[in-house]
A = this chain, B = another copy of it.
């Protein structure tokens, strides 16, 4: 279950705050993109050295530093030192096995989220950790790999939409979280479609490997639930936070995200119930079908066994078998057999087995 336990397996007992990258070793450069803006002003660039953005820490404009790739520990340590990030936070940024959480520090909020993707080939959900550091005038986001999930937010900033340009870092953080949660709905939709297909298949044309499909859908839903569940408390906490870092006006928007998260969790729970019910239905129908087969087959066998016995009797070679000599012996044997079969059928019919 590597998916279920991804915590860094560093030597137990090592000091906290030790940065150890977890995951595949990667050598590609880390992509750093910076957006610095206020209502009237926007400067967007991609930089190579993190030190270029250090001066922006104290500028009153909103600065969003998006770091894609967490395998460059040196860069992360430097950033941490400059922005006054606690070593434990940095450890959590690079250790991607954490469950979603929020932690308040004196000068920043630390939020761990999970970006989920549905891999259509393996029919599996993959999870990527996204860490947000929300300071007074800056927001640093760390992604494991660079993706396009935040592009719509960038687009809104570029377009100069009033609210996002006016409202500062906390609203930006909200926009990013909202983008992530919105993406969950796409995954739910894909899984929901899959469940619908499977449900039709169960009632109409069940095949044997449907069992494994139901099982793996259940595993995905369990996995999804584990990733999303803690988010509820996080967003609730943020939307009620009395911190200086989150302005009153943003609470309303966070409340909206909270509703979405609750809706996601509700839907996950409904999926669990539906999948459980489908498994029961599949098994019950299989068993019913099987029983029907067995019943008819056994009845056929049972009718022929006694009359075959009669045939066997008169196949015996005893010298002295008077019936064999009778002219109407053969007819009588047929009569016995037909009457026996009919009696059996009537008995079965009366017992309602037919």
Q: Which of A16, A97, A99, A183 has the most CB of B within 10 A?
A: A16
| A146 is an interface residue with CB less than 8 A from chain B | no
A48 to chain B, nearest CB (A): 27
| A297 is an interface residue with CB less than 8 A from chain B | yes
B300 close to A297 (CB less than 8 A): no
Total number of A residues with any Cβ neighbor in B under 8 Å: 120
A318 close to B307 (CB less than 8 A): no
B15 close to A164 (CB less than 8 A): yes
A277 close to B218 (CB less than 8 A): yes
Q: How far is the CA of A192 from the CA of B7 in the complex (A)?
A: 13
| A29 is an interface residue with CB less than 8 A from chain B | no
Q: Which of A15, A300, A315 has the most CB of B within 10 A?
A: A15
CB 8 Å contact bits of A290-333 with B (1 = contact, 0 = none): 11111111111110111111011111111111011111111001
Copies, count: 5
Q: How far is the CA of A304 from the CA of B86 in the complex (A)?
A: 78
Q: How far is the CA of A255 from the CA of B9 in the complex (A)?
A: 19
Partner of A327, one of B7, B312, B320: B320
Q: Which residues of A contact B (CB under 8 A)?
A: 1-2, 4-5, 7, 9-17, 86, 88, 92, 97-99, 101, 103, 149-153, 156, 161, 163-164, 175, 178-179, 182-183, 185-186, 188-189, 192-193, 195-196, 203, 208, 211-212, 215, 218-219, 222-223, 226, 252-253, 255-256, 259-260, 262-263, 266-267, 270-271, 273-274, 277-281, 283-288, 290-302, 304-309, 311-321, 323-330, 333, 351, 353
